[in-house]
Structure 1
Amino acid sequence: MKKFFYILLVFTVLSSCSEYQKVLKSEDIATKFKMGEELYNEGKFAKANRLFAQIVPNYRGKPQAEKLMYLYSNSFYEMGDYYVAGYQFERFASSYPNSEKQEEASFLSAKSYSMLSPAYTKDQKQTVEAIEKLQTFINVFPESKYVADANTLVQELDFKLENKAYSIAKQYNLISDYEASIKSFNNFIFDFPGSSLREKALFYRLDSAYKLAMNSVERKKEARLNQAKEFYESFKKAYVNSEFISQADDMAVELNGALENYSTKS
């Protein structure tokens, strides 16, 4: 009995594959559309996509084109081909402005671009583009049920940009390029005022300024000591209970000690 069912299963699979290949080679666009939709509904998106790709040009301007183009666009999304999905959904939304699927397509287009965003350690051009696409969607559809998801994606992408900027500034600190580190942390603090990395940014800006001042040439030392002291005061005012506060206090003691030499001279 088990052998019988196994043979039946193999026969069914082979018949199904044979039928698919037959339709794939057929000139009958209606049959291709019908089978493509059936495969799509079964979750066989790659197979459905191949059929849809063959008939898209034939349906331009026809009543069924809207449905076909939505299924075609979403098959790319479901296959994980987010670059093409983003483009196709964007085309769908502009081609069918009155479609009941326009809002969803606009969101999925923006979301597709967000899926292309790389790790924060890489170039973030695509991340910036995705944020712009999502923000456009939010502005156009402020009451959409997808707005909450769009805002969440924007926050995640924003954090990548924050992490990238913070990491660059921290790297300058690690390689002892303290002037570049201070400048980068200043930019970070200005660009991302509400960042969860702000506390660390303020501390490592102080750390860079402290090390730069303490190892500075004499003609620049006093000004740099005063700048480091200002950074300490800013840090302590904002994060008096920080995990870094004892280190910051130790730096302040040394900074004040070094500054006393200049008060005596004057």
Structure 2
Amino acid sequence: MFLKMRSVLTITIFSLFLLVSCNEYQKALKNEDVKTKYDLAEKYYKEGDYKRAKRLFEQIAPKYVGKPQGERVMFFFADSYFKSGDYYLSGYQFERFIKSYPQSDKLQEAVYLGAKSYYELSPKYSLDQTDTDKALSKLQTFINTYPESEFFEDANTMAQELTIKKQKKEIEIAKQFDKLGEFNFPILVSAIAALDNFISDNPGSVYREDAFYYRLKAAINLAENSIQQRQPERYEEAKTYYEALMKSYPETKFAKKAENFNDKIVKELNKVEETLSK
């Protein structure tokens, strides 16, 4: 009985607290006094109630432009968007803060959080990567500008993650060219070119081994489906791709498939030699 009464009392007190808090917030929204809004907005911000805080900061931000408190208001306003997961607007507001207060003590953090906002917006690799590109650009600016920052490692990790995501998109596009080439052989030329570019542009990529292998595969398909006069040179080209794969990755995960391709190359080139020797 005592526990039940205690539970009811706790719920009642909590409900009253919510009611008072709600009334306080609603009154502040309608109040014309900027200082009242400012004090309550900062209170909500410190308590982690970013949804209410950002609404109040939104109302008062224009009133503080050019005033000493303006810098503080604009940073809290942007950060309230970030902490409530509204990354499009936090990115935009941090950009405004950076332009408005280039000498601020909070500048470094604003640059970092602005970049992180776009990092959070980066979609999965198969979708348009505009936000990924923007995030990478901003992260790289932060990394180059603040190498001693406490946020440096985190920014570097995010940049690496996004770089790998973009590389995955590139390799998947190249693999798609290769797949389409099974039905439309001229597309294999585009697949080989795309994989060539990937290998030269991404020397440290986790997908580089895949690129070497799929370039070899595309070259074999192209050679097999070329007119007879073009086959020798294209098998020779495939041979150089096989050798490049084995030189770069002697213990490649594609070893068995690569060896099968090489057997095919040797067999076809031997046929050419036999024909020429007759």
SS of equivalent to 2:16: helix
Q: Deviations over 1:67-124 (max 9, x none)?
A: 1111101001011111111121122123222222111111111111221111110121
Q: Which of 1, 9, 16 lines up with 2:14 in the alignment? A: 9
In the TM superposition, residue 125 of structure 1 has moved relative to its aligned partner by 2.0
Shift of 1:8: 2.7
Superposition deviation, residue 12 in structure 1:
2.1
Matches of 2:141 and 2:231 in 1, distance apart?
49
Map 1:189-204 → 2, pairs under 5 A: 189-204=199-214
Runs of 4+ in structure 1 deviating by more than 6 angstroms, as ranges, are none
Stretch moving more, 47-56 or 134-143: 134-143
Give the 3-state SS of the residue equivalent to 2:67 in structure 1: coil
Matched with 1:186 is 196
Per-residue deviation, residues 146-199 of structure 1 (Å, max 9, x unmatched): 111111111011101100000001112223242222121111111111111111
Letter in structure 1 aligned against 2:251: N
Q: Is the 8 A contact 1:52 1:68 kept in 2?
A: yes
AA aligned opposite 1:123: D
Gaps of 5+ in 1: none
Distance 2:99 2:151 in 1: 18
Select the residue among 108, 113, 119 that pairs with 1:108: 113
| 1:1-266 equivalent positions in 2, closer than 5 A | 1-2=5-6, 3-175=8-180, 176=182, 177-266=187-276
Structure 1 144/8 Cα, relative in aligned 2: closer, same or farther at 3 Å? Answer: closer
Worse-matched range after superposition: 95-104 or 65-74: 95-104
DSSP 3-state at the match of 2:229: helix
Q: Cα offset for 1:30?
A: 0.3
Stretches of structure 2 that go unaligned for 5 or more consecutive residues are: none
The percentage of aligned residue pairs carrying the same residue is 44
Matched residue SS, 2:230: helix
Deviates more, 1:67-76 or 1:107-116: 107-116
Give the alignment's TM-score, normalised by structure 2: 0.91
